Amino acid sequence: MQSSYYSHVIRIVLGIVALAVLGFIGKTVLTPKSFGTYGHYRADAIEEEANIEIRHWTNAPCFACHAYEANLHLYGTHKTISCEFCHGPYADHVTNGKKTGVLPVKKGEDMKILCLRCHNKAIQARPEAVIKTVTMPEHLKDQKVKLTHTCNQCHHVHAPLKYINRDKQIVGMQGDS
């Protein structure tokens, strides 16, 4: 009588122990190696995220090859503008130090749209202290040029006021003499 009573308790205990062992093995096998190093997550995921390749390489590598543009860009009022905003990311242009693609250069009407993304006075919330804005057909009329003119016919895209200031200087000199 007594032995049969114990045997069913032992069977239950053995079952629980077997389940616990199985559970433990399952947990060790299924839990990723670095899980729990810093918290309830896989610590290796931090390094995986950190090792993603960058696509925007800042202006410095652009200027390393494009010295002419660099010389204009760095001394003009557009010096704060990133090359890669207008031309696209460096990674589309150079891979492993070799040129692999041609980046677009906006022309004509496309360029006008690009300029007006920032310089359109029609959009309020653009403080004069931060950016100089114009209203579009009016600016062309004020400057007494054809309405079909694109922005870059007067403003160099990399140094917008370079030639305008130079012209003003020349005109000023003529006025003085």
Partner 1 sequence: MDNTKPTIDKERRVFIKKVLEGTIAGSLLLVLPMNAGGEKIPEQVAGIRDGEYDLTDHDFAFIVDITRCIGCGSCCVADKKEFDVPDGHYRTWVERYLKDFDGNVYVDSPNGGLDGYHNPRTDIDVNVRDTFFVPKLCNMCKEPPCVQVCPVGATFRTPDGFVLVDHKRCVGCAYCIQACPYSVRFLHPVTKTAQKCTWCYHRVRKGLLPACVNVCPTSARKFGDLKDKTSEVYKILQGPGVFSVLKSDMGTWPALYYKGA
Using CB under 8 A, list all residues that contact partner 1.
32, 35, 38-42, 45-46, 48-58, 60-61, 64, 78, 80-82, 84-85, 88-89, 94, 96-97, 113, 116-118, 120, 122-127, 130-131
In 164-173, which positions are buried (b, 16+ CB within 10 angstroms) versus exposed (e)?
eeeeeeeeee
Nearer to partner 1, 47 or 167 (CB): 47
What tokens were used for 154?
A: 């007067």
Least distance CB 15 / partner 1 (angstroms): 29
Least distance CB 8 / partner 1 (angstroms): 38
Nearer to partner 1, 81 or 154 (CB): 81
Nearer to partner 1, 20 or 46 (CB): 46
Among residues 104, 114, 98, the alpha carbon closest in space to that of 152 is found at 114
Least distance CB 84 / partner 1 (angstroms): 7
Whether the Cβ atoms of residue 103 and residue 92 lie closer than 8 Å to each other: yes
Beta strand segments in 38-97, E: 94-95
What does each C-alpha distance from 77 to 53, 73, 92, 109, 173 come to in angstroms? 31, 8, 27, 22, 23
Nearer to partner 1, 119 or 140 (CB): 119
